[in-house]
Every structure is written in structure tokens, then in C-alpha cells.
């Protein structure tokens, strides 16, 4: 059997297969449904992305500001101010904005290794409960939280 014989047989055989009329209207309806689904999907995607963006922004702000109320502070949250810390008894407490702030002790009651008795830097109130000190002399920012001085704490 050669190519043309096979082709004829297939065309003739297939021609005997009954076929219903073309459902043109149904195809149009199905296409409209697909269009609608695509539009809805695109709209849902845009909304999801917007929500994600808002949530991320909010989370970022919460992370930066520690999500604490700021109304109680007399000093506005905002730009850093120049500040010097005395290190003769180590770094643990500081007084700022009329309040006592405390951090994880550095220096075991004496000047931390490698630091001078007075460290110049910047202090930034990030929120009512977060105060951050940065200095070129210290590798990582020091985070202070509101706290009271330990009654046993002694510094001369």
C-alpha cells in the first residue's frame, strides 16, 4: 500500500464517521467563561499581591518600631541624637528621656574591653520601649529597654 492509497482509505473511512453540527454558540460561551475566569484570577492575584505588600510593610514597620505605643514618650520617635555613654562601670544602664533604660550588661562592671571610658555615638528612640545606641567603636547596635536599676547595683 503506497502513500496515496493509504491517504484515500483514511479520508474515505473517516468521511463515513457521522459528526454533529458545530456548536458555535457553546464555544463562544466557553470562551467567555475562560475570559471571565482569567480576569477573576488576575484580579485575585492583584488583590493578593496588594495584601501581601501591605502586610509585609506593616510587618516591617512593626519590626522596626517593635509595635509599642509611643504616646507616653516626651521624646519623639525619629532621628538619632548624639549621645555619649560612660563605660566605667560597664554598659548596662542609661538615663534618657527622664527614664532609666537597661540592656544586657557589657564589661562586667568595668570598662568593656577595647572601649574608652566615654563612648560617643548616637541614640535613637525607635519606640516607647526601644532605645538603640550605635557607635563607630561598637560593632553591633546596643538595644535598651525601659527598666529599673537593680538595688544591688553599685557604681562609683
Contact residues: another protein, CB under 8 A = 1, 3, 5-7, 9-24, 26-31, 34-35, 38
Least Å distance between CB 41 and another protein?
Answer: 13
Least Å distance between CB 131 and another protein?
Answer: 59
The residue among 19 and 139 lying less far from another protein, judged by its C-beta, is: 19
The residue among 25 and 95 lying less far from another protein, judged by its C-beta, is: 25
Least Å distance between CB 39 and another protein?
Answer: 12
For residue 146, give every residue at least 6 positions away whose Cβ sits within 8 Å of its Cβ, in sequence order, or none.
99, 100, 101, 102, 128, 129
Q: 92: buried, middle or exposed (CB in 10 Å: 19+, 13-18, 0-12)?
A: buried
The closest alpha carbon to 92, from 73, 66, 111, belongs to: 111
Q: How far is 87 from 156, CA to CA, in rounded Å?
A: 12
The residue among 9 and 57 lying less far from another protein, judged by its C-beta, is: 9
Amino acid at each position: 500500500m503506497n502513500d496515496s492509497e493509504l491517504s484515500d482509505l483514511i479520508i474515505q473511512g473517516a468521511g463515513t464517521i457521522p459528526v454533529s453540527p458545530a456548536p458555535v454558540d457553546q464555544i463562544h460561551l466557553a470562551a467567555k467563561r475562560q475570559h471571565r475566569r482569567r480576569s477573576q484570577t488576575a484580579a485575585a492575584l492583584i488583590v493578593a499581591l496588594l495584601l501581601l505588600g501591605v502586610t509585609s510593610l506593616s510587618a516591617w514597620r512593626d519590626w522596626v518600631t517593635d509595635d509599642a505605643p509611643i504616646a507616653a514618650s516626651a521624646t519623639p520617635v525619629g532621628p538619632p541624637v548624639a549621645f555619649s555613654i560612660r563605660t566605667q562601670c560597664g554598659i548596662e544602664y542609661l538615663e534618657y528621656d527622664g527614664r532609666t533604660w537597661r540592656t544586657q550588661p557589657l564589661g562586667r562592671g568595668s570598662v568593656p574591653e577595647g572601649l574608652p571610658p566615654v563612648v560617643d555615638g548616637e541614640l535613637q528612640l525607635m519606640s516607647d520601649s526601644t532605645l538603640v545606641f550605635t557607635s563607630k567603636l561598637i560593632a553591633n547596635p546596643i538595644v535598651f529597654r525601659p527598666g529599673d536599676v537593680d538595688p544591688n547595683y553599685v557604681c562609683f
